[in-house]
Amino acid sequence: MEIGSGRFPEPPYCAVIFTSRRTQGDRDYTATAERMIALAAGQPGFLGVDSVREGSELGITVSYWRDEDSIAAWRRNAEHTEARESGRRSWYEAFVVQVAKVERSYAFQRPPAAQRP
């Protein structure tokens, strides 16, 4: 996973934070999640995504968007709507969605061992 400055434009931009707890079993979850990332990547205003999951327990996905209009357009996407409905029906025990405006961003990157003093 790439981390560091230059990954996103200068703030402000928006972040959608999706925190979830999965049900047992896949039931096409993995394929749909991969499809949603690919589909989102083609949407106007999409900047990137970070996602981690601890087994079948807690998962956090943060998608980054140019502005709230871009987020709203993604939410109206028919395939994304269908995936959200499948999530409520089959994939999640619980989830929380938070939308935030990124006002400031900074990064740290340790130099490779060969370049350290």
pLDDT for res 110? 85
pLDDT averaged per 10 residues in sequence order, the chain, 117 residues: 72 97 90 95 96 85 97 96 94 96 90 76
Residue 50 burial class via C-beta count within 10 angstroms: exposed 0-12, middle 13-18, buried 19 and up: middle
Structure tokens at 87: 């999530």
C-alpha 63/C-alpha 83 separation (Å) is 16
Looking at residue 113, its pLDDT comes to 81
User: Which domains, from first to last, does the chain contain?
Assistant: 13-105 (3.30.70.100)
Q: Which helix (H) or strand (E) holds 98?
A: strand 92-102
For residue 12, cis peptide bond before it (omega within 30 degrees of 0): yes
Q: What is the pLDDT of residue 82?
A: 96
Q: Does pTM surpass 0.85? A: yes
pLDDT at 26: 87
CA separation for the pair 91, 73 (Å, rounded): 23
**Number of other residues whose CB lies within 10 A of the CB of residue 74:** 19
21/11 Cα distance (integer angstroms):
30
Distance in angstroms (rounded) separating the CA atoms of residues 46 and 59: 21
Amino acid 67 reads: D
